[in-house]
Amino acid sequence: QSGELWWSEPFDAADLKVQAPKLVALIAADKGEVQPDEWLQWSIAPEQVMAGEPLFFGLRPTHDKGVMLRGGTTMPGFPYLELELQ
């Protein structure tokens, strides 16, 4: 399962060692089952993104399979977020 994409409260790396940030507003619903190494794409309304302002996202599992992300000790390494502005 892809999980749901949410706006979250602001956080930094130290915060994530203590607890997950609070989820504020749903951006996109679960996309259903995802295959290993499959890329996911969500669209965000342009008016929700402001130049020079930080973005804070959270993924919420929607199934007991959870959301499996790559980590620093897995290949090919940490997951990353790519933003494409149109």
Q: What is the pLDDT of residue 10?
A: 96
| 75 has pLDDT over 60 | yes
Long-range contacts of 63-66 (CB under 8 A, 24+ apart): 63/1, 63/30, 65/1, 66/1, 66/3
- pLDDT exceeding 70 applies to what percent of the chain? 80
Question: What φ, ψ does residue 51 adopt, rounded to 5°?
Answer: -55, 135
- Report how many helices (DSSP H) and strands (DSSP E) the chain contains, helices first: 1, 3
Do 2 and 31 meet the contact criterion of CB atoms below 8 Å apart?
Answer: yes
| 72 has pLDDT over 80 | no
Averaged over 8-29, what is the pLDDT?
Answer: 92
| Rounded-to-5 percentages of helix, strand, coil across the chain | 10, 15, 70
pTM exceeds 0.85: no
